[in-house]
Amino acid sequence: MIRFMTELIGWASSIILLLTIFKQMYKQWHDHSSEGVSKWLFIGQLAASTGFTIYSVLLHNWVFTITNLLMALSAILGLAIVMHHRRGKS
């Protein structure tokens, strides 16, 4: 039962984090603006999430593996949105 609760807390936290990040990216896309958002935010997120994904795989921690893999993908998407908006302004 403790193992189940631990996993449930991990997956629930993962979903909350991912929904928060994706909601922000949706807002940027929908508003057609990345005003005030640094591309370095997403570059740093990509680097950290890639490292954490590898680390999590080595530890066989699937909550963190999947979460960090999706965070890395969100960083790529977020960077693409920022670059798209910046190209549109030049």
Query: What pLDDT shows up at residue 28?
Result: 93
CATH architecture of the domain with range 2-89: Up-down Bundle (1.20)
Query: What pLDDT shows up at residue 90?
Result: 63
Distance CA 70, CA 82 (A): 18
pLDDT tens digit sequence for 2-14: 999 999 999 999 9
Tell me the pLDDT band of 20, cut-offs 50, 70 and 90.
very high
